[in-house]
Structure 1
Amino acid sequence: MKESIFHRLYDSYHQDVFQFLIYMVKNRTVAEDLSHEVYVRVLKSYERFQGRSSEKTWLFAIAKNVAIDYFRKNAVRSSHAFDAFNWETDQLVSPTKSPEILTELNDDMRDLLDALEKCTGDQKMVIIMRYFQELSIAETAQVLSWTEGKVKTTQHRAIHRLREILTNTTEQKEANQ
């Protein structure tokens, strides 16, 4: 029984979870490892799933936590200090700057993903969930355990920040030509 539930969840949502993770970490191998970790956690905790949210938002909440854990571990490793990592305000900067996924993208998309690296962690997650994974405001709020108002505010600030970064990038490119 548990195995059939796992396979159904995996078949239904694996691609979405994997895409979310690859946009977060920008590395296919790391995203595969983190995706595996998501499903290990699913197996361990499915009996505690109470159905207060959809299975999809529950999976994204697990994926979000796995990604945050990954960034926390990297922050600790890179600083060799146990400073507190605040994913809401700190930038979630991927360790690799030009993964193979970026070579397949057009310049505008590459610029957008680079700009996302300069946003806060909460802004980056909201943009990925809302625009890349096409979750609704309500679903995004469930995944993040936020109010819909906080999602809307964060989304608004993220879009404003992205516009600012992309405008500066465009101006710099034009000045260099």
Structure 2
Amino acid sequence: MKDTESIFHRLYDQYHQDVFQFLIYLVKNRTVAEDLSHEVYVRVLKSYERFQGRSSEKTWLFAIAKNVAIDYFRKNSVRSSRNFDAFDWETEQLVSPTKSPELILELNDDLRQLLTALEKCTGDQKMVVIMRYIQELSIAETAEILNWTEAKVKTTQHRAIKNLREILTQNEKEASHYESRKMGRQQN
């Protein structure tokens, strides 16, 4: 037990910030991210003895965090809709039920626009973008965490970037149109 405890503390010290940041980008609520982070480490403590070292500890932790996040979104999906249809991770959007004002205020405008656009992507796309560009995981690590091939990660990443470009371009056009209409009213 003493060994498991020291391993747990090492993992927590080494990866807690990364896991917490990953979860907060997904759920956009500090309290929920803290709760989910706690759940990740509860699962780590319960299952470390079964960890076989086929992946790095970091990718193993992120895989657990991904599963905890999926469980959270499934639970919210069922609660909010009272519909017991299966949650389709690949096509459903992962939209946090609440926005964190403190998180949004801390971000610069470009990142805020990107995260808002990311809400319109599929769950797979959102997960890949967060892992690859925010958590800076490699394609191999991302594939391992998601239990995908590297080709699927690359394809999903490509589609996500294309989708984000389209969303951001559309948002820019709408903002420009709004500004020109606003200017026209002020001149009258």
Normalised-by-shorter TM-score class: over 0.9
Partner SS state of residue 47, structure 1: helix
Give me the TM-score of the superposition, normalised by structure 2: 0.93
Q: Which has the higher contact order (CA 8 A, sep 6+)?
A: 1
Give the unaligned 5+ runs of structure 1: none
- Offset, 1:98: 4.4
Report if the CA contact (8 A) 2:30-2:100 is conserved: no
Partner SS state of residue 85, structure 1: coil
Report if the CA contact (8 A) 2:29-2:99 is conserved: no
Give me the TM-score of the superposition, normalised by structure 1: 0.99
Runs of 4+ in 1 over 2 A off after TM superposition: none
**What's the % identity of the aligned pairs?**
81
CA RMSD in angstroms comes to 0.7
Structure 2 distance, partners of 1:98, 1:10, is 24
Structure 2 distance, partners of 1:134, 1:141, is 13
Structure 2 distance, partners of 1:57, 1:40, is 17
Aligned to 1:137: 139
Structure 1 distance, partners of 2:104, 2:127, is 18
Equivalent in 19, 23, 26 of residue 21 of structure 1: 23
1:159 matched to 2:167: no
Give the unaligned 5+ runs of structure 2: 180-188
Matches within 5 A, 1:6-85: 6-85=8-87
Structure 2 distance, partners of 1:97, 1:115, is 14
Aligned to 2:184: none
Structure 1 distance, partners of 2:82, 2:91, is 20
| Structure number with larger C-alpha Rg | 2
Q: How many residues align?
A: 177
- Offset, 1:25: 0.2
